[in-house]
Amino acid sequence: MPLTDLTLPELLAFRPEVAEPDDFDAFWADTIDEARAAAETAGTRPSLTPAATPVTQLIIEDLTFPGFGGEPVRAWVSRPRDAEGPLPAVVQYQGYNGGRGLPGENVLWALAGYVHVFMDTRGQGSGWGTGGVTADPHGSGPATAGFMTRGIHDPREHFYRRVFTDAVRAVDATRTLPFVDADRIAVTGGSQGGGIALAAGALAGVQAVLPDVAFLCAYRRGAEVAADGPFQELAMYLSVHRDEVDTVFRTLSYLDGVNFARRIEAPSLFSVALMDTVVPPSTTFAAYNHLAAADRAIEVYAFNDHEGGQTAHWQKQAEWLAARI
């Protein structure tokens, strides 16, 4: 399998200029304030119910919390049984069109001593894995198959505005859990989940950010060079809507992981795979190289595709995070 992008020395120096709207901060502050106000007006609070699972050595619960527009979003909460708290927490986001799956399916962070909150992604969960249950009750204008171009004409209408808001509200909900130390929360995720973690890392005031083979960064670069995967949805859309290039990338500038990375000051550990055909490594490096955090590192998997480091990388994440929170 060949390299899919630039060489490592070129990637380490790759710091492209990505358009940043003048009202980027105001846009997101207003968006998050609206979501919090919607929940407050409706009197909706996070709620936990026991999960039906054969797992007995962890406590696993079904969390429902108000996300974008106060709409219900689901997550699994897994934690060590009989551990003395409050405990640090890891909020995790899922990859493209996967869901939160079954209770007890993803428990490595809980086994490592954390409260693990695994957010379902609204409207997704039917492409692979064992499913999701969170609806996205919003329509879209003309779009390609998939999620990248849903609401592409207006950042206020775009699918990822809702998802990123849900991600921040998941951190808000985690802070309310009585067994969580609200001052020790990390966010993580792979691929799409990594891109979501970047947004949450910039907007939710967390203590650590761990994006793994992060998608949703440097959209134009991704659309131009990705050999596979959802970046191609953008290229397909623009091959039909030839006069909308400026509109598309203006909308996406509000949702770009590069612009979120510029605002992340918390300790951050990235990963990247140099033979990745889905997320070109230059798009991940574009975010990493704009990162504001002084305490930062990136693990490079030179001979891996989009699977990246898998559990070997999780072990590095766990060691790195234990030294910080």
Which residues are annotated as catalytic? 191, 276, 306
**Do 92 and 108 touch, CB atoms closer than 8 A?**
no
**Do 169 and 199 touch, CB atoms closer than 8 A?**
no
Q: Give dist(CA 119, CA 84) in Å, integer.
A: 24
- Region of 301 please: left (phi>0), alpha (psi -120 to 50) or beta: beta
CA triplet 195, 201, 205: central angle to 5 degrees?
160
**Do 56 and 43 touch, CB atoms closer than 8 A?**
no
190 contacts: CB under 8 Å, gap ≥ 6: 95, 212, 213, 308
**Do 302 and 289 touch, CB atoms closer than 8 A?**
no
According to DSSP, the β-strands at 208-212 and 180-190 are: parallel
Q: Give dist(CA 78, CA 114) in Å, integer.
A: 8
Q: Give dist(CA 180, CA 198) in Å, integer.
A: 21
3-state secondary structure of 286: helix
Q: Give dist(CA 70, CA 225) in Å, integer.
A: 37
